[in-house]
Amino acid sequence: MKTTHPKLELKGETTDVNEWLSRSGLRFEDLGDDPTSVAIRRQWREYQAAVRMFCITTQQTPERVQLSGVYEKLRVPQQYSLTSVQ
């Protein structure tokens, strides 16, 4: 029987903005034109660039790579207050 440590399992990255946003409980519909939404969209672009770089470097699909190091913080949208976003 093979056992794996749950924290060591590869979760993988995504190319789906809705899946990425859901990691922090957000929906695409929550975003507007306010500074917070602009910052989240910028982070999405940075995330996608990092995922592409990891995929090219490792010759893997996004689902098979996991960002690490300085890029790890991009995996989950930053916890911004979206109460003013409608």
The domain ranges of the chain are: 30-78
Is the Cα torsion angle 56, 58, 63, 69 positive or negative in sign?
negative
Please report the pLDDT score of residue 43 as a whole number: 96
Please report the pLDDT score of residue 80 as a whole number: 56
Give the rounded percent of residues in the chain with a pLDDT score beyond 90: 73
Mean pLDDT in order along the chain per 10 residues (86 residues): 42 93 92 93 97 96 94 85 47
Please report the pLDDT score of residue 46 as a whole number: 97
Which residue's structure tokens are 């911004």?
80
Q: Which H/E stretch holds residue 50?
A: helix 35-58
Please report the pLDDT score of residue 84 as a whole number: 44
Please report the pLDDT score of residue 82 as a whole number: 52
Contact by Cβ (8 Å): 25, 77: no
